[in-house]
Structure 1
Amino acid sequence: MNNLREIWGSRFVHYITELQKYLKYVFTGHLAIVLVFTIGAGGYAYSEWLKEVPAEFPAALLAAIVLGAALVFSAPVTLLKPADTVYFLPLENKLGMYIKQSLRWTFFSQLPLPFLLYIIALPLLAATGTGTRTEIVSIAILMVLVKRVFVVTEYNFRHACEGRNVWTDRAIRFVLAGLLIFNGLVGNMLLLPVIAVLLGLYSFHWAKQRKEKPFPYDHFIELEQNRMMRFYRFANYFTDVPHLKGSVSRRGWIGLVFDAPKFGQTVPQSYLVRRTFIRTDDIFWLWIRLTALSALGALFIPFPIVIFVFSGALAFASAVQLIHALRAGDEFRMDMLFPEQEDTRPAAIKKMVRTVQWIQAAVVTVTALFLYGMAATPLLIGAVIIIISEATIHLTGEKEEFE
């Protein structure tokens, strides 16, 4: 296919098909229940807080920071592949058509997030009397224009600098976007043209710099691979993803937390499973994220029954995914070379999962004390996490033995 528009079209269809294949396992009934409870509780808490928010609350500043940050992240979705470094070379003079389609999709796919945050911020702006109706509508229109400019600017910057110092570019655009939104909300309309001109000059500068550099295939291919890998890691929380490539980190602080192994005194499988959990990025950060999410729920959800369901669902997700992740792996492991009983690994996995789930229960219980105080509710939340985790460990173990 010599027509780059057709190449983009075929890749885009494959990309959407790939997303649908995994998203159907992500957005299930269980997640819908969790989202309904979370959004409902969060919306109620937000509405109750708005009734007491003081008129002098810096709503314009907060909205400018949040919306500016949402607009700044505009990494281009190119759908490039490693083979393109060879096969696209004869078509490089026509690559602009492919990039045009890429930036168009990037713009439309990334625009909903800042608008969703803007809609959430509107009740706060109304409660504090920030911005007139005309100014609110004007900011919405400006956000569309700014997002379009930012998508093109980030592409030009990455092209010209081959991805180096991208955070410097984002910091500059964040300041400009924040100033634009803040001055628009507080009514300083005279400054808006000045800031808009600065944005235009900054974008024009990198458009000019881009024309002097060859297309950095390696950078945009790596950027695309990292983007898809983040999606696969997210989808892997809900189903097995064969495309996922795990990563391992050293975690130098392990030596400060755990004693060094001693010959004849250390249980090999417990030692290996413990370090597998801590050093494997996907497993370790999965547990960290779910624990943090459960703690945030305990901090902001004021309804005991809701937080019981919420923390219980996350405890189940943590336990079952840790068990499956620690049991998965290559058919051959180095511990198979040692004269250790084969049945000791499942017990070591259960012990490890039980330990980290007790830690999760303790973290969430302590966090819940800030909202509920010295009452029975925080202790019941911890008890729910422990009970759900123990039941998950027990039932998952029985299922594996039956199979």
Structure 2
Amino acid sequence: MNSLREVWGNRFGKYLMELQRYLQYVFTGHLAIVLLFSIGAAGYSYSEWLKDVPPDLPAARLIALLLAASTFIATPVTLLKPADAVYLLPLEKELPTYTSRALSWTFFSKLPLPIIVFIVALPMLSAYEIGSKPIFGLLLLLIIAVLWASVRTEFLYRKANEGQGVWRDRFIRFVLNALLFYAVLSDQWIILIVITIAYLLYATLWMKKANVQPFPYDHFIELEQNRMMSFYRFANYFTEVPHLKGSISKRSWLGLFMPDANVEHTDAQSFLLRRTFIRTDESFWLWLRLTVLSILGVLFIPFPIVAFIFIGALAFASAIQTLQTLRGGDEFRMDLLFPNTEETRPKEIFRLTERVQWLQAGLIVIAGLLMHGLSITPFVMGAIVLIISEATIRLSNNKDEE
């Protein structure tokens, strides 16, 4: 390929195919049910809250902060690869063509989030009698312009500083974005003009500094690799990603669940599996996220039947994902060094999964007691988690035996 435009087009097509390859396993029927009930419950709670809004709530400031939070993080999606640091040098004069398309895709891929925040905020603005249809139209145009400016400003800042101190730049843009949105919502047109001029001067400053700096290939290549690795870790919660590089953490603060081994009395499989679960980032953080989501569902979903379905779906997800993670792959494992038969490993995997699901059920019961008081509902929630988890474990065991 002799043009970076062709390079971008080719890579972008492959990138979309890669996303589609894994997202088809992410957005399945189970997740659709969870999202349906979650969005429905959140929408109902929001509509009920709007019927009697607190009069002293600073709605304009709150919405300005939410809109700023949805626009100030604008990590560029460049699709650069390690070999580009060498092979793109002869075409470096065409690099602005490549980066322009990369920033355009970054802008459009990040646009849905602030638009959703804007749509959700409209009923709240109407409830507090803030703004009008022309103001809302201006606010929508400002959201698009601010996101466009944020994407390009962060790219210029990273290019000028090789990514050093990027959160300082993000903080400045967060403050500027919030002031812009608040100025529109509060009809402070002088503030809007002043902040707009300050924003333009800030962006121009980094444009001038970026133009005199060579393109930092290493920084943007590393940034792209980290971004894709984050996507693969997310996709790995739903399906196996072969080229995912796992990571481990010591997590000494969980030493209570990892006592020292006793050669004569400690079962090797149980000891190693317990440490594998706690120290492997993918398994530990996945289970913790699903547990936290279940607790939030118990605390914020007003309908018990909806909460039952929600925590049941997450209990199934956490049980099956814990089983799959502990089974691991075909690589070398430390338990192969111990004089234990391989036949004990599946039993210990099921036993450890049962224990962590019991812990999840206990936390959900505690959350249910805080939400519903001393009643039968919290214990039904805990029972649902245990029943679905046990059914998932047993069905998985029967499938393995077949």
Q: TM-score, normalised by structure 2?
A: 0.97
**Bigger shift: 277-286 or 182-191?**
182-191
Secondary structure in 1 matching 2:2:
coil
CA contact (8 A) 1:56 1:128 kept: no
Q: Identify unmatched segments of 5+ residues in structure 2.
A: none
Q: Distance in 2 between matches of 1:317 and 1:310?
A: 11
Q: Distance in 2 between matches of 1:193 and 1:366?
A: 51
Partner of 1:93: 93
Q: Identify unmatched segments of 5+ residues in structure 1.
A: none
Task: State the one-letter code of the partner of 1:328.
Answer: G
Answer yes or no: is 1:147 the counterpart of 2:147. yes
Task: State the one-letter code of the partner of 2:268.
Answer: P
Matches within 5 A, 1:19-98: 19-98=19-98
Q: Distance in 2 between matches of 1:65 and 1:352?
A: 43
Partner of 2:325: 325
Task: State the one-letter code of the partner of 2:72.
Answer: V
Displacement after TM superposition at 1:164 (Å): 0.9
Partner of 1:400: 400
Displacement after TM superposition at 1:255 (Å): 3.0
CA contact (8 A) 1:354 1:390 kept: yes
CA contact (8 A) 1:54 1:128 kept: no
Displacement after TM superposition at 1:256 (Å): 4.6
Displacement after TM superposition at 1:132 (Å): 2.4
Task: State the one-letter code of the partner of 2:400.
Answer: E
Displacement after TM superposition at 1:243 (Å): 2.3
Answer yes or no: is 1:159 the counterpart of 2:159. yes
Between the aligned residues of both structures, percent identity stands at 56
Q: Distance in 1 between matches of 2:399 and 2:51?
A: 50
Partner of 1:351: 351
Q: Distance in 2 between matches of 1:254 and 1:298?
A: 25
CA contact (8 A) 1:4 1:98 kept: yes
Aligned length: 402
**Bigger shift: 96-105 or 117-126?**
117-126
CA contact (8 A) 2:76 2:102 kept: yes
Q: Distance in 1 between matches of 2:324 and 2:125?
A: 46
Q: Distance in 2 between matches of 1:272 and 1:228?
A: 30
Secondary structure in 1 matching 2:229:
helix
Q: Distance in 2 between matches of 1:364 and 1:125?
A: 35
Partner of 1:369: 369
Task: State the one-letter code of the partner of 2:334.
Answer: M
Could you list the per-position Cα deviations for residues 155-179 of structure 1 after superposition, in whole angstroms to 9, with x for gaps in the alignment?
0011111111111110000001011
Partner of 2:224: 224
- What RMSD, in angstroms, separates the aligned Cα atoms of the two structures? 1.2
CA contact (8 A) 1:183 1:191 kept: yes
Partner of 2:311: 311
Q: Distance in 1 between matches of 2:365 and 2:119?
A: 33
**Bigger shift: 123-132 or 103-112?**
123-132
Task: State the one-letter code of the partner of 1:335.
Answer: D
Displacement after TM superposition at 1:131 (Å): 2.1
Displacement after TM superposition at 1:134 (Å): 2.1
Matches within 5 A, 1:177-216: 177-216=177-216
Name segments (4+ residues, structure 1) moved above 6 Å: none
CA contact (8 A) 2:368 2:378 kept: yes
Partner of 1:169: 169
Partner of 2:382: 382
Secondary structure in 2 matching 1:246:
coil
Q: Distance in 1 between matches of 2:213 and 2:336?
A: 53
**Bigger shift: 295-304 or 123-132?**
123-132
Secondary structure in 2 matching 1:71:
coil
Partner of 2:9: 9
Q: Distance in 1 between matches of 2:335 and 2:29?
A: 39
Could you list the per-position Cα deviations for residues 11-44 of structure 1 after superposition, in whole angstroms to 9, with x for gaps in the alignment?
0010111111111111122221111111111110
Displacement after TM superposition at 1:61 (Å): 1.4
CA contact (8 A) 1:319 1:357 kept: yes
Secondary structure in 2 matching 1:182:
helix
Displacement after TM superposition at 1:257 (Å): 4.3
Partner of 2:284: 284
Q: Distance in 2 between matches of 1:330 and 1:174?
A: 46
Q: Distance in 2 between matches of 1:233 and 1:251?
A: 19
Q: Distance in 2 between matches of 1:72 and 1:213?
A: 24
Q: Distance in 2 between matches of 1:183 and 1:378?
A: 46
Aligned in 2, Cα 1:23/1:366: closer, same or farther, shift over 3 Å?
Answer: same
CA contact (8 A) 1:274 1:352 kept: yes
Aligned in 2, Cα 1:51/1:370: closer, same or farther, shift over 3 Å?
Answer: farther
Secondary structure in 2 matching 1:2:
coil
Displacement after TM superposition at 1:371 (Å): 2.6
Q: Distance in 2 between matches of 1:354 and 1:218?
A: 45
Q: Distance in 2 between matches of 1:165 and 1:124?
A: 36
Answer yes or no: is 1:271 the counterpart of 2:271. yes
